[in-house]
Amino acid sequence: MTANIWAAIENTPSKKLEALFDEDAQRVDGMTISQSGLRFDFSKTHLDAGLLLAFAELAKAMDLDGAREKLFTGAVVNPTEGRAATHVAERGNGSADDVAQAKALQNRMRGLIDVIEAGAFGEIKHILHIGIGGSALGPKLLIDALGRDGLRFDTKVVSNVDATALAEAVKDMDPKATLVAVASKTFTTTETLMNAESALEWMREGGVEDPYGQLIALTAAPEKAMEWGVDQNRILPFAESVGGRYSLWCSIGFPVAAALGWGAFEELLEGAAEMDRHFRSAPLAANAPVMAAFADLYYAQVRKCQTRAVFAYDERLRLLPDYLQQLEMESNGKSVTADGAPLGRASAPVTWGGVGTDAQHAVFQLLHQGTHTIPVEFIASKTPGHDFDPAHHETLLINCFAQGAALMRGRDSADKARSYAGDRPSTTILMDDVTPSAVGALIAFYEHRTFANAVLLGINPFDQFGVELGKEIARGIAENGPDGFDPSTSALIAAAGL
């Protein structure tokens, strides 16, 4: 049914970006959406009236409206696991039951933070948050982005099973003044449990008599946490229907709420809630996540772009590309549709990126002159995150805007080594400031864009079976050593003396 629509999208004559501006004096206004302190400029993409009409047809055929309503009403949107996806309820935008449950669990988290502050865990100065993937990336991003003016607790996030990370994190921590938060949706993740065991050992060696008394669990599997030894009263549960990579809004966000304060956490939730409402109700061409998804699909499907690049022109958002890699690639890196049929087209592109201006002096050569077309996303803030000479911030923004202009404009030269093809697409997200509410809105924008991409492709974005095989083989190696694997793997295991 969608084959005709895709054919129409593919056959829509493509115009050069500069021609699109020439033929429509209002293009910037028409292709810019302002929402929740964020200005989304899609005008330097190849989307035009013809493509927007064709994508609107696709949205209709794939029932984007219906899928959105399912998401916001707590219906099953993750068919392979038979689950709803209730991260929106954490922001107050789900079914009444889901919202009530989310609020009750958030209140429990708030209560625990109050109790910690009141000294029930001793004099806590440090929080050691242990988790991986969705149980680490969100808290890490938020603390780095929003905690630069000071944190109420010195907070470190440890994810890698390489204990070099743990050693580095605890180097300046006093074990007697440390609260360990073990974050794992399933409470079965090898890396997290191994790091948690070692953290307990570190506390014991540091003279803490009852290390479990300084440990809390953030999980959707409280019974597993209890089996592991965590006291029921020190568990902050969350709903099974909140996906791991969508979980910073619930108790996985504990270190954020504790270190930045409850007020900041609420602002974060409210920023995301505003973006939820926008995504749910704005018409397609005025809907930031939907427009972004249309552009994503155009480049991945029609222009066959295999990657998209995200550059944060703000040091506070330097971890955003890492966060987005999991959100976008774990959600939409699939080869089958939600029904298990072959997808038959490209899935999500590879998400990668870095920070401006550093990336300009490292990878931008390829963006400007390489043979690949790579849609670029620039994210910047009008307001700086420092009190140094404003010239720094002006230079940062000037560079950000110059790169987008250069990608589009290009330049011909008799010397081909000095020629730039131009007509290379970019989007720019200009934030008023990097505040909790704006960052909440920004992350929710990316969540909904990922969801819209999935719906339009027919993918289930909420499972991640692709990570299981490697885990299974790792267990096999741990149990059986080198026997029973391919010759290369067996030789590596033997060479490492495992």
Active site residues: 330, 361, 471
Q: Of 274 and 330, which has the nearer Cβ to ligand F6P?
A: 330
Residue nearer to ligand F6P on the CB measure, 43 or 332: 332
Dist CA 104 CA 172 (whole Å): 35
**Tokens 């948050």 — which residue?**
129
Which residue has 């910047």 as its token pair?
Answer: 380
Residue 310's φ and ψ, nearest 5 degrees, are -125, 120
Give phi and psi for 183, each to the nearest 5.
-110, 115
Of 170 and 196, the one with the shorter C-beta distance to ligand F6P is 196
| Peptide bond connecting 357 to the previous residue in cis, omega within 30 degrees of 0 | yes
Q: List all residues 6 or more positions away from 82 whose beta carbon is below 8 Å from its beta carbon.
A: 76
Nearest approach in angstroms of CB 378 to ligand F6P is 27
Q: How far is residue 123's CA from residue 156's CA, in Å, rounded to a whole number? A: 17
- Which residue number, 64 or 199, has a Cβ lying nearer to ligand F6P? 199
| Min CB(183)–ligand F6P separation in Å | 7
Minimum Å distance from CB 246 to ligand F6P? 9
- In sequence order, the 6+-apart residues with CB closer than 8 A to the CB of 238 are 105, 185, 218, 219, 220, 247, 250, 251, 252
Which of these, 291, 341, 333, 293, lies nearest to 455 by C-alpha position? 293
Closest to ligand F6P by CB, 224 or 277: 224
d(CA 121, CA 198): 20
Would you say 135 or 332 has its CB closer to ligand F6P?
135
Q: Name the nearest CA neighbour of 447 among 336, 306, 331, 355.
A: 331
3-class DSSP assignment, residue 350: strand
Complex with ligand F6P: residue 186 or 419, whichever CB lies closer: 186
Instruction: Write out the residues near ligand F6P by the rule CB under 6 A.
Output: 132-135, 184-186, 189, 192, 244-245, 330, 464, 467
Contacts of 50 (CB under 8 A, 6+ apart): 12, 13
Instruction: For the beta carbon of residue 387, count every other beta carbon within 10 angstroms.
Output: 6
Is the distance from CB of 56 to CB of 291 less than 8 angstroms? Answer: no
Tokens representing 272 are 């995301």
Say which DSSP state 411 is in: B
Minimum distance of ligand F6P from residue 181's CB (angstroms): 12
Q: How far is the CB of 264 from ligand F6P (least distance, A)?
A: 23
